[in-house]
Every structure is written in structure tokens, then in C-alpha cells.
């Protein structure tokens, strides 16, 4: 079901809306955010220079560091009494990024999240088990409000306590699971170990998964073990949280809600805008945000855009699933390594699971890379010959496909520490 008429606007109509909304956004930041006023002045731009969405290329980029430099509320465009919600992204390095919402922003967030649920066929007859973390992370509450907006019954279980979550999911008859894909697999693994029958004991029909880069293989595995349809959701705190884009029934690419978020793809090195179809860094401008309007935000996410019509009837441009981060791409002895590509390779090898970690380190002057991966329950751990063969196979496949030379460490099932939120896939010891 299509939630809003805005999702099917003809291109011309959509562009008119984007033109008007970009001009409003530029005026808002010029008048209220000293950071942008200074940036515009440095570039010699005044709001009158921006007349249509195509003028966006004249505007400066915003980076995560800019939000950190203006921590906590320096980038807000409204007074504190207009802000009704604060979230913040988990800062693994440095200060966290703080984002704020007015009541109007919350309405937009609920609206785009309602579109996501409708895209997945979720309505008031459904029960949504929401295992995204509640709290400062935008996942839990963002998804929560969207489910309520479409009238579904929401179970706000948050992350952790896997056994209890399984019990509630079964007893409450959840039809939809919302979580990170890695946590969905962890739930399946725990359920099987506890003797559940995933198809008979649960009523799940679909899941809406996102928040971390995920290979096709891992997505297929989640869909297969649970016997459900896999929908993907993408978003980031700086733009709104979950609900920037999501996949529909016709395509596994994700429609970006372009009436609120204007996307561009740039070359991450030069900043030059790339044409549709080319792979590069996704840059997003918020078109309606009030508390924290954001101009040309460099998401760091690598993807490409596709404007060809989608059979679902939505006119909004589609992005490919995130292929990696412009900034967490590992360079190992001169070779670029995307964790998602390693995962893709692992997904096609028998005898191992998709619970893995990539560990980069230094060996003398050279980089070293280790891929630690759990074997399946069926793998005979006492058969040295079988393990050695498997190790060699993985190593050769990684070398042949990705040109990376990694040491492979096979470990027992369930021995890699599980994260209740985003899986920790990369440990880079070189910068410590």
C-alpha cells in the first residue's frame, strides 16, 4: 500500500516542491545557524542565489565533524523551547552527534516511517516486535512511532534479553520483526538452540531490517531461517533517523523520500557530483527539517541512485543497498577492503556462518589482516584435515575475488561476542 500521494508525484511536481523547500531551508539556515552563514559568506553566496534544486551544487557540504565542532546544539536553527526531542548517535570516536526535533519534525518522521511500514504491507492488523534499541539511538523510537502511525500493535522490546524476546514474540503473535539483520540472525540462532520451531512457533510474515551494512547472503539467510519477506530500511540520525529510504515489494533497492530528503552522489575524493547510476558517496539535504536543517550532508555511505520507474508506482529515486562506508573502508597493504564484500564472499562458502570479524593489525611495516569466522554446528572441529582445507578455501576465495591476503581463523559456533545493537565487524588495531 502507498501511504502518501507525495510518493507518486510526477517528476515535474516533485521538482517544484523541492525547489520551494530548498529555498525555505536555505533561508532558515542563513537566518538562524551562524555555522552556515559563515560558510555561505566564505563561498560568496546569499540565499537569493539559490532558486531551484539544481543550484544545490553551489552550496557547501556538511560533515559529521561540523556537528561535533558545534556540540551539542550549535547547529540548531530553533530556540530550545521549540525542540521536543533529542537523539544522539553512538559516538565511537570523539563526541556524539546530537540531533533535535520540533513537533513538525516529529510529524515528518512519523509520516516517513508510516510510508516504510506501508511499503512492507504492515497495517493495523499487524503486531510489530521492535528489537531496535530504545534510547538516544534513533532506531527504537523512530520505528516505534511509525508503527503506531499505521495503527499496528507495537511491542517495544528494544535490544538484549534474547530468550525473553523470543518468548514474547511467540506468545504475542508478532507478525513483523524490526531489528538489525545481525540481531535477527542471533535471535534465530538462539531460538533454534532453545528448541523452537521457527516456522511453527512464530507468526512472522516479514521483517524490516537496517542500520548496518549487510551482504545479499546475510539478507537471504535472515529471510530463509525465519521464512519471512526481508524489507530493508535505511537512515541516519543527522537526516532524521530511520526512514530516509526503504525497499518496496518490487525492488530490493530503496526509495528515498525525496520530498523531504534530496539525494546526490559525489566522488568522495573530489566532491564532484556524479551522474545517476554511478557509485559514490551519498549526500543528503533535508528539505523540511526545522530544528536541525542540514545542507549537503556527507553520509559517508557508498551507493548509487536509479531514477528509472519502479513497478510499485512510487516515483521517488531508488538507492542501492549501502555497499560500504567512504570512511570505514579498510586499506590493507594498498588494497581497498569493504567489510560487506568480505561478507559477500563468506556467504558463499559452506561450513562457516556469517558470524565473523575482520581484524586489521601491523606486522612489522606491513599491514596484516585476519578474518575470524565461526564454523557451523555440523563442522567436525576435531578433524584437523577438514579445518585446514576449509581455511585454505576461504583464503583462496578471498584472494581471488577481492585480492586480499588474509589469515583465516576458524572458531567454534557462538564464540564471537554478540552485540545487541550493531554487529562489530571490523577491529582496526593499527590506529590504537
The site for ligand DLL (CB under 6 A) is made up of 89, 132, 137-139, 210-214, 232-237, 241-242, 299, 301, 321-322, 325
CB of 72 to ligand DLL, least distance (A): 16
CA distances for 163 relative to 56, 143, 169, 188, 323, angstroms: 49, 22, 10, 10, 32
The least distance separating ligand DLL from the CB of residue 109, rounded to whole angstroms, comes to 11
How far is the C-alpha of 92 from the C-alpha of 75, rounded, in Å? 21
Nine-digit cell at 194? 532453545
For residues 181 and 212, the answer to whether their CB atoms sit within 8 Å is yes
Q: How far is the CB of 326 from ligand DLL (least distance, A)?
A: 10
What is the C-alpha to C-alpha distance for residues 112 and 6, in angstroms, rounded to an integer? 11
Task: State the minimum distance, in angstroms, from the CB of residue 138 to ligand DLL.
Answer: 5
Q: What is the DSSP string of 189-245?
A: HHHHHTT--TTTS----EEEEESS---HHHHHHHHHHHT-EEEEEEEETTTTEEEEE
Could you tell me the smallest distance in angstroms from the CB atom of residue 170 to ligand DLL? 24
Nearer of residues 159 and 213 to ligand DLL, judged by Cβ: 213
Q: Give me the least distance between CB of 351 and ligand DLL, in Å please.
A: 27
Euclidean distance between CA atoms 324 and 339, whole angstroms: 7
b/e sequence 7-34, b meaning 16+ C-beta within 10 Å: bebeeeebeebbbebbbebbebbbebbe
Q: Of the two residues 50 and 286, which places its CB atom closer to ligand DLL in the complex?
A: 286
Nearest residue (CB) to ligand DLL, 158 versus 408: 158
Q: Which is nearer to ligand DLL, 357 or 410 (CB)?
A: 357
Nearer to ligand DLL, 56 or 143 (CB): 143
Dist CA 46 CA 55 (whole Å) = 12
Measured from the CB atom, the residue of 130 and 290 that comes closer to ligand DLL is 130
Rounded Cα distance between 283 and 154, Å, is: 32
CB of 322 or CB of 372, closer to ligand DLL: 322
CA–CA distance, 183 with 193 (Å, rounded to integer): 15
Nearest to ligand DLL of 266, 410 (CB atom): 266
- Say how far apart CA 168 and CA 9 lie, in whole Å: 40
Q: How far is the CB of 357 from ligand DLL (least distance, A)?
A: 18
Q: What b/e string do you get for 357-373 counting C-beta neighbours within 10 Å, with b at 16 or more?
A: bbbbbeeeeebbbbbbb
The residue whose grid cell reads 596484516 is 368
Q: How far is C-alpha 247 from the geometric centre of its chain's CA atoms?
A: 12
Q: How far apart are CB 9 and ligand DLL at their closest, in Å?
A: 24
Shortest approach of ligand DLL to residue 112 CB, angstroms?
Answer: 12
Q: Shortest approach of ligand DLL to residue 346 CB, angstroms?
A: 17
Q: Which is nearer to ligand DLL, 76 or 297 (CB)?
A: 297
- Nearer to ligand DLL (CB atom), residue 40 or residue 137: 137
Is 270:243 a contact under the CB 8 Å cutoff? no
- Mapping DSSP to helix (H, G, I), strand (E, B) and coil, where does residue 141 land? helix
* Element of type H or E holding 355: strand 352-363
When the beta carbons of 40 and 261 are compared against ligand DLL, the nearer one is: 261
Q: Output the nine-digit C-alpha cell for 58.
A: 553551489
User: Could you tell me the smallest distance in angstroms from the CB atom of residue 139 to ligand DLL?
Assistant: 3
Amino acid at each position: 500500500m502507498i501511504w502518501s500521494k507525495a510518493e507518486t508525484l510526477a517528476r515535474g511536481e516533485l521538482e517544484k516542491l523541492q525547489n520551494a523547500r530548498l529555498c525555505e531551508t536555505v533561508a532558515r539556515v542563513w537566518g538562524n545557524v551562524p555555522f552556515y552563514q559563515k560558510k555561505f559568506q566564505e563561498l560568496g553566496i546569499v540565499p537569493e542565489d539559490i532558486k531551484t534544486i539544481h543550484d544545490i551544487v553551489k552550496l557547501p557540504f556538511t560533515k559529521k565533524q561540523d556537528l561535533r565542532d558545534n556540540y551539542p546544539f550549535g547547529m540548531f536553527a530553533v530556540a530550545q523551547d521549540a525542540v521536543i526531542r533529542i537523539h544522539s548517535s553512538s559516538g565511537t570516536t570523539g563526541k556524539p552527534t546530537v540531533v533535535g526535533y520540533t513537533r513538525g519534525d516529529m510529524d515528518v518522521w512519523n509520516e516517513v516511517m508510516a510510508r516504510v511500514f506501508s511499503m512492507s504491507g504492515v497495517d493495523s492488523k499487524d503486531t510489530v516486535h521492535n528489537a531496535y534499541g530504545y534510547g538516544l539511538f534513533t532506531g527504537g523510537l523512530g520505528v516505534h512511532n511509525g508503527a503506531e502511525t499505521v495503527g499496528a500493535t507495537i511491542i517495544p522490546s528494544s535490544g538484549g534479553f534474547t530468550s525473553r524476546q523470543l518468548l514474547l514474540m511467540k506468545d504475542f503473535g508478532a507478525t513483523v520483526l524490526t531489528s538489525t539483520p545481525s540481531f535477527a540472525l542471533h535471535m534465530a540462532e538462539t531460538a533454534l538452540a532453545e528448541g523452537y520451531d521457527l516456522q511453527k512457533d512464530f507468526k512472522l510474515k516479514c521483517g524490516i531490517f537496517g542500520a548496518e551494512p549487510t551482504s545479499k547472503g546475510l539478507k537471504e539467510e535472515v529471510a530463509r531461517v525465519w521464512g519471512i519477506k526481508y524489507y530493508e530500511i535505511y537512515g541516519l540520525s543527522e537526516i532524521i533517523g530511520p526512514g530516509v529510504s526503504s525497499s518496496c515489494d518490487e525492488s530490493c533497492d530503496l526509495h528515498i523520500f525525496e520530498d523531504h530528503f534530496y539525494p546526490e552522489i559525489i566522488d568522495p575524493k573530489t566532491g564532484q557530483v556524479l551522474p545517476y547510476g554511478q557509485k559514490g558517496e551519498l549526500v543528503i539535504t533535508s528539505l523540511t527539517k526545522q530544528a536541525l536543517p542540514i545542507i549537503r550532508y556527507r553520509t559517508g555511505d557508498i551507493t548509487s541512485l536509479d531514477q528509472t520507474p519502479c513497478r510499485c508506482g512510487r516515483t521517488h529515486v531508488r538507492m542501492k543497498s549501502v555497499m560500504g562506508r567512504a570512511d570505514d573502508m579498510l586499506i590493507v597493504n594498498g588494497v581497498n577492503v569493504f567489510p560487506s564484500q568480505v561478507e559477500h564472499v563468506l556467504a558463499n562458502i559452506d561450513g562457516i556462518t556469517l558470524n565473523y570479524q575482520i581484524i586489521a593489525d601491523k606486522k612489522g611495516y606491513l599491514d596484516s589482516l585476519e578474518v575470524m569466522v565461526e564454523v557451523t554446528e555440523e563442522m567436525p572441529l576435531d578433524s584437523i584435515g577438514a579445518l585446514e582445507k576449509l581455511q585454505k578455501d576461504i583464503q583462496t576465495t578471498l584472494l581471488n575475488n577481492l585480492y586480499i591476503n588474509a589469515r583465516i581463523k576458524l572458531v567454534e559456533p557462538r564464540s564471537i561476542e554478540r552485540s545487541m545493537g550493531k554487529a562489530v565487524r571490523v577491529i582496526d588495531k593499527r590506529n590504537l
